[in-house]
Amino acid sequence: MSLDPLLLSALAAAYLLGSISGSLVIGRFRGVDIRTQGSGNAGGTNAFRTQGWAFALGTVLVDIGKGVAAVALVRLVGGGEMAQMAAVLLAALGHVWPLFHGFRGGKGAATLVGGLALLWPTALLPLFAVWLGVLVASGYVGLATVLAGLALPLWALWEGRAPGWPGFALLVAGLLVFTHRGNLQRLRAGTEHRFERVRLFARRPPADV
The domains of the chain are located at 1-106, 120-209
Task: Please give the pLDDT value at position 209.
Answer: 42
Q: Classify 193 as helix, strand or coil.
A: coil
Residue 23 makes CB contacts below 8 A (sequence gap 6+) with 34, 42, 43, 44, 46, 47, 55, 59, 106
Q: What is the pLDDT of residue 1?
A: 46
DSSP helix/strand/coil, 191: coil
Tell me what pLDDT residue 29 has.
Answer: 86
Distance CA 18, CA 59 (A): 13
Each residue's pLDDT, cut to its tens digit, for the chain (209 residues) gives: 446 899 999 999 999 999 998 888 888 888 888 888 887 787 888 888 888 888 889 999 999 999 999 999 999 999 999 999 999 999 999 999 999 888 988 999 999 999 999 999 999 999 999 999 999 999 999 999 999 999 999 999 999 998 899 999 999 999 999 999 999 999 999 999 887 777 776 655 544 44
Q: Which of 82, 66, 60, 108 is nearest to 7 (CA)?
A: 82
Whole-number Å distance between alpha carbons of 89 and 204: 42
Q: Which of 67, 58, 53, 49 is nearest to 28 (CA)?
A: 58
3-state SS record for 69-111: HHHHHHHHCCCCHHHHHHHHHHHHHHHHCCHHHCCCCCCCHHH
How high is the pLDDT of residue 53?
A: 85
pLDDT for the residue numbered 2: 47
Q: What are the backbone angles phi and psi of residue 130, rounded to the nearest 5°?
A: -65, -45
